[in-house]
């Protein structure tokens, strides 16, 4: 048995059957490369699904983990800790959002946002409790967030689902937005600025601006799920910063920890005030180890020039994908280093994915037939070009 076969056999025996993994196990990574148990290396355009912002083995990430692990990892939220404040400060910097609650996953950040929105209206004495989300959205796998997720395949098997969530409107549809906000039981509109799992579908600028304006006019809240788009991925720290809007709550995870499980729900002062001690909590969230790493990673991303570089590389990638000039790639879209190339079919996308994998490039298929590119933010233009050459070759191979 090879080392990989042993790993696979143990996994099959003991790990719950919730994924259909590819036949590979990675042992180490460096920069934007991963190495498997057989010693093969891969150039990674998935980055742990938009998580490894600084790639693998980055000194900022490694030093922050090692230094903090030597000091203290977890103390509980019964005590103050220096790093949670430092990380929260980095997250809200330059925005209208003033306070953070930390969790461990994107789903937990969204769960917190839903609870906070409901509590906000309870405190105000208004009967607003409905959480409206978009068709084709993705917000997580807890019962509340999977209900918020506008894709039946994820939530239908788990019915009965919680009340007052699961109200879906078509994304980018201004009339649907106006109509739903006529219902004065709506507490919040919750949207991804770019739908990630749904197929890298950006919200239009006018739509997001209208969401901001109408929620304010109608007295509902705007929650933006920046779990996939946050932490510099779009070329600004938060995607919403491209549009001059002021969401009441945003949620984030993935890139903010650069590889450790940390997420956050950020809110304006006014909304955050609705939570008082005892309303919400977690054992692991906000603890020194993960927030020290998150602080270091976010500080690196906020360094001068870093996000401009992400924006430039994103444009280079999109240009390169458009220049493939292949009629089986029907659309290229995204912002910064969250880019999708929609293909003619799921089967075709899968074929491209498989062939690219064999050549040592890790891509991903989302939204059924969209090739997703969410590489570490430190990817270079040369590495992007290398992938584009392989992609062109791959498309030529497929008849």
Ligand X SMILES: Cc1ncc(COP(=O)(O)O)c(C=O)c1O
CB of 304 to ligand X, least distance (A): 28
The reply to whether 306 belongs to the active site is no
In whole angstroms, the minimum distance from the beta carbon of 262 to ligand X comes to 10
The interface mask with ligand X, positions 168-207, x = CB under 6 A, is ------------------------x---xx----------
Q: What are phi and psi of 236, to 5 degrees?
A: -130, 165
- Number of residues interacting with ligand X: please give it, by CB under 6 A: 15
Distance CA 279, CA 281 (A): 7
Measure the CA–CA gap between 11 and 264, rounded to whole angstroms: 31
| Choice among 61, 138, 275, 361 that is catalytic | 138
CB of 197 vs ligand X, minimal distance in Å: 5
Residues 221/249, Cβ–Cβ less than 8 Å: yes
Instruction: Give the separation between CA 371 and CA 342, rounded to whole angstroms.
Output: 6
The span of 12-20, 133-141, 173-181, 239-247 binding ligand X (CB under 6 A) equals 133-141
Stretch that binds ligand X, among 11-19, 54-62, 180-188, 220-228 (CB under 6 A): 220-228
Copy the structure tokens of residue 68: 């903090």
Which stretch, 75-83, 154-162, 223-231, 276-284, contacts ligand X (CB under 6 A)? 223-231
Residue from 32, 92, 97, 107 touching ligand X (CB under 6 A): that is: 107
Label residue 257 exposed, middle or buried (CB < 10 Å: 0-12, 13-18, 19+).
buried
Q: Which of 55, 106, 193, 367 binds ligand X (CB under 6 A)?
A: 106
Whether 254 is a known active-site residue: answer yes
Burial 112-130 (b: 16+ CB within 10 A, else e): bbbbbbbbbbeeeeeebbb
Q: Would you put residue 54 in left (φ > 0), alpha (ψ -120 to 50) or beta?
A: alpha
Length of the chain: 399
- Does 215 interact with ligand X (rule: CB under 6 A)? no
Could you say which of 68, 83, 215, 228 contacts ligand X (CB under 6 A)? 228
Q: Catalytic site residues? A: 138, 225, 254
Q: Where do contacts with ligand X occur on this chain (CB under 6 A)?
A: 49, 105-107, 110, 138-140, 192, 196-197, 225, 227-228, 253
């Amino acid at each position: 048995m090879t080392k990989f076969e042993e790993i696979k056999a143990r996994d099959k025996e003991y790990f719950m059957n919730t994924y259909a993994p590819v036949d590979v196990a990675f042992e180490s990574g460096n920069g934007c490369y991963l190495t498997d148990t057989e010693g093969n290396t891969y150039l990674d355009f998935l980055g742990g699904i938009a998580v490894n912002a600084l790639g693998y083995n980055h000194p900022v990430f490694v030093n922050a983990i090692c230094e903090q692990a030597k000091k203290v990892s977890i103390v509980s939220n019964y005590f103050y800790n220096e790093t949670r404040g430092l990380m929260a400060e980095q997250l809200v910097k330059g925005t209208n959002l003033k306070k953070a609650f930390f969790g461990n996953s994107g789903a937990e950040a969204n769960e917190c946002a839903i609870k906070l929105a409901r509590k906000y209206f309870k405190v105000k004495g208004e009967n607003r409790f409905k959480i409206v989300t978009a068709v084709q959205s993705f917000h997580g796998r807890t019962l509340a967030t999977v209900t918020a997720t506008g894709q039946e395949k994820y939530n239908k098997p788990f019915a009965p689902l919680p009340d007052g969530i699961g109200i879906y409107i078509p994304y980018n549809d201004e009339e649907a937005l106006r109509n739903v906000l006529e219902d004065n039981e709506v507490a919040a509109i919750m949207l991804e600025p770019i739908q990630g799992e749904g197929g890298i579908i950006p919200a239009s600028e006018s739509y997001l601006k209208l969401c901001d304006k109408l929620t304010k006019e109608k007295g509902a809240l705007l929650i933006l799920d920046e779990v996939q788009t946050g932490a510099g991925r779009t070329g600004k720290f938060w995607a919403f910063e491209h549009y001059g809007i002021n969401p009441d709550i945003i949620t984030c995870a993935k890139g903010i920890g650069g590889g450790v499980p940390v997420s956050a729900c950020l809110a304006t002062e006014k909304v955050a005030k609705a939570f008082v001690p005892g309303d919400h909590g977690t054992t692991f969230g906000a603890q020194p180890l993960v927030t020290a790493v998150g602080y270091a990673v976010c500080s690196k991303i906020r360094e001068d020039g870093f996000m401009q570089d992400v924006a430039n590389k994103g444009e280079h990638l999109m240009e390169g994908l458009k220049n493939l000039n292949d009629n089986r790639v029907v659309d290229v879209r995204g912002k910064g280093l969250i880019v999708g190339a929609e293909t003619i079919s799921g089967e075709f996308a899968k074929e491209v994915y498989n062939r690219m994998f064999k050549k040592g490039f890790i891509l991903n298929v989302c939204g059924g037939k969209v090739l997703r590119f969410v590489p570490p933010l430190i990817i270079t233009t040369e590495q992007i070009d290398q992938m584009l050459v392989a992609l062109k070759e791959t498309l030529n191979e497929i008849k």
